[in-house]
Amino acid sequence: MWAEYQGEGKKASLTIRSHFSAAHRLAPNLSAEKYGKCTRTHGHNYHLEVTVEGEMDSRTGMIVDVRALKKVVEDHVLELFDHSCINEDIPYFAESQIVPTTENISRYISDLLQSPIQKLGVKLSQVKLFESDQLWVEYKGNGSETFFNVATDFSAAHRLAHPDLSLEKNKQIYGKCARINGHGHNYHLEVTVKGEIDPVTGMGVDLGGLNQIIKNSVIEPMDHGFLNKDVSFFAQVVPTAENIAFYISNTLRSPIQQLGAELYKIKLVESPNNSCEIYAADLDQTSVNAAVKQLELAAV
């Protein structure tokens, strides 16, 4: 359980975590040839996060009775889903052609929770459902719109040094990171795609196509490489976490659009103490700002 406050009066949000174990299969609307094992009955330990919004009570300092909120999730979701075969045991999926993808499951959970949470005096703002630590969906109650997330990793070396500055000046700016022979990280990458749930496939984006794009455009050229030398973009641009995330965003935006979805966000974790997020909608302005900063740095 955790809370977030954005500085807006007494308004705050509260998120609670829970989990359930269930089986499903991505059938009958998905091709076994294209989606392989996922069209067979299999299972997951689903991780569920439910976020509500409300006004902090001046007496209790809380926006909602946490025990009541947990009971709502237990009664309306966990009792239904836990240790079930979603295709067969849950009427919403068993009696229709709705495929129990993570997108459709998160949307249905949101529908189940809307009314009972409203009766607690708060608003359901988001359902976040993890199928695994590499795939999850955020559903905010906006019709068929979902935010689909995939995570992957790559290992790479880099050196933080602007080519137009002296070694001494680069060391003043970047410290150890400017050492001549570079250093490395295990990068963790999260790609968030916004899309409408397809009524036939139940997906907000072609997962196979998305994974292939990330592999071809990011993982293959960057994994086990020296970014300054092996990726032409970084021959003149310092490969900070910010610039790497910016490069990945620009690289992925067009091919994801060709899949019929929209790149929403890139999150790049460089180390346990350092991560960066870039929102694709801000890319045009970010591009201008990045160019200006590079020119300013070169002139120092």
Calpha distance 285→274 (Å, rounded)? 23
Closest CA to 73 of 53, 50, 47, 55: 50
Question: What whole-number distance in Å separates Cα of residue 173 and Cα of residue 100?
Answer: 51
What residues pair up with 137 in beta bridges, in sequence order? 129, 148
Lookup result for tokens 């935006």: 253
Whether a cis peptide bond, with omega within 30° of 0, leads into 163 is no
**Nearest residue to 18 via CA among 46, 51, 52:** 46
The active-site residue, picked from 38, 85, 177, 276, is 177
User: Side chain identity at 215, as an amino acid letter?
Assistant: K
* CA distances for 31 relative to 38, 124, 133, 201, angstroms: 10, 34, 25, 9
Catalytic residue check, 177: yes
The residue annotated as part of the active site, out of 49, 103, 138, 270, is 270
b or e along 31-40 (b: 16 or more beta carbons within 10 Å of the residue's beta carbon)? Answer: eeeebeebbe
224 is catalytic: yes
Task: Please list the residues that pair with 148 across neighbouring strands.
Answer: 137, 193
- What tokens were used for 139? 């559903």
Place of tokens 């295709």: 87
* Close Cβ partners of 247 (under 8 Å, ≥ 6 residues apart): 231, 233, 234, 237
Verify whether residue 270 is a known catalytic residue: yes
Active site residues: 177, 224, 270
